[in-house]
Chain A
């Protein structure tokens, strides 16, 4: 299994509070991604990174920001959480574009 960890694995927070999710990889892969999974929507890309300090928006980026200061870490921040951001968040990594992506175990976030 690819070495990908996510923290925390579960979080309950209140509307309006900031939240940061962490993804850590030990594979030294260049590309990292954040997805959210919701019933009836499959997996949707939030943001991705193609190198240290190089990031870009995905399909559902509103309300989220990311940072990547080291190859191994990719942070997803919800500046002011809303109930619509209740979801399961997955981090993924890949060596190159056009290759398969490997996913972390996920973080279940509940915003009350």
Chain B
């Protein structure tokens, strides 16, 4: 049973527009959520995180929104740039847990 789901395997966006990547989860014990970006032949890079006590966290062009009642989070990238083209993974963990549970990833392509 997949606890973290990224239902869109891929997404294409024009440069300068907003990219919205979505993630759903089923485990109500998750209280910390993260987004990672991954380029080919490299390891995942931590991008941004959010605790369950917040509903929004911003870092430059990246904003993560959390809707706990819907068990849904999203990553907004504004404006999108060609260098943002990568695979984005959503991950979640329970309080005090060592383990991150990852989604399968969404491949973002930003078209110049």
Residues of A at the B interface (CB closer than 8 Å) are 4, 31, 33, 40-45, 48, 50, 58, 90, 92, 94, 97-98, 100-106
| Cβ–Cβ < 8 Å partners of B32 in chain A | 98
Q: Is the CB of A58 within 8 A of B99?
A: yes
| Cβ–Cβ < 8 Å partners of A106 in chain B | 41-43
How many B residues are at the interface, by size bracket?
20 to 34
Q: Is the CB of B104 within 8 A of A98?
A: no
A43 and B49 in contact, given A48-B98, A98-B32, A100-B34 (Cβ under 8 angstroms): no
- Name the one of B46, B97, B102 contacting A44, with C-beta atoms under 8 angstroms: B102
Closest to A49 in B: B98
The A interface, classified by DSSP as helix, strand, loop or mixed, is: strand
- Name the one of B45, B93, B99, B104 contacting A42, with C-beta atoms under 8 angstroms: B104
Q: Is the CB of A43 within 8 A of B99?
A: no
| Cβ–Cβ < 8 Å partners of B43 in chain A | 4, 90, 92, 103-106
Residues of B at the A interface (CB closer than 8 Å) are 32, 34, 36, 41-46, 49, 89, 91, 93, 95-100, 102-105
Q: Is the CB of B99 within 8 A of A41?
A: no
A31 → B minimal CB distance (Å):
6
Closest to A90 in B: B43
B38 → A minimal CB distance (Å):
9
Sampled A-B contacts (27; CB under 8 Å): A4-B43, A33-B98, A42-B89, A42-B104, A42-B105, A43-B102, A45-B99, A48-B98, A90-B43, A97-B93, A97-B97, A98-B93, A98-B95, A98-B96, A100-B46, A101-B46, A101-B100, A102-B46, A103-B43, A103-B44, A103-B45, A104-B43, A105-B42, A105-B43, A106-B41, A106-B42, A106-B43
| Cβ–Cβ < 8 Å partners of A31 in chain B | 98
| Cβ–Cβ < 8 Å partners of B96 in chain A | 97-98
- Name the one of B44, B49, B98 contacting A90, with C-beta atoms under 8 angstroms: B44
| Cβ–Cβ < 8 Å partners of A103 in chain B | 36, 43-45
Bound: A41/B46 CA distance, A: 19
A7 → B minimal CB distance (Å):
14
- Name the one of A43, A48, A92 contacting B89, with C-beta atoms under 8 angstroms: A43
